[in-house]
Amino acid sequence: MTRRRDVVGIGASAGHAYSQMALDAKQEEMLERSLYDSLRSLREKAALLRDIASRDDINSGRLIKRADGYDQDAATVEAMILSRRKSAA
């Protein structure tokens, strides 16, 4: 960490330097992107399991139960995203 006047610089592993505010904004952007990627992946997994269940009479109950679990996880992540947006406003 380096100090120049009233700006604190934080060095990244690639040799870039960020102010604290710029680093905070970049991390916030990366975190939001990560949450949205997770949400999309959870929804896609649930949809895939439901699609497989529709073609598999033997395992359909188990697959739908797993899909429901992914839907619950997606709802949790979505609530996190919405909560973060409210607190940032």
Predicted local confidence at residue 88, as pLDDT = 76
Domain that holds residue 66: 2-88
Its pTM stands at 0.75
Q: For residue range 17-71, list pLDDT tens digits in order.
A: 678 889 889 999 999 999 999 999 999 999 999 999 999 999 999 999 999 999 9
SS3 content of the chain, % helix, strand, coil (to 5): 75, 10, 15
Domain count, the chain: 1
| Confidence bin at 14 (pLDDT 50/70/90) | low
CA distance 7 to 67: 49
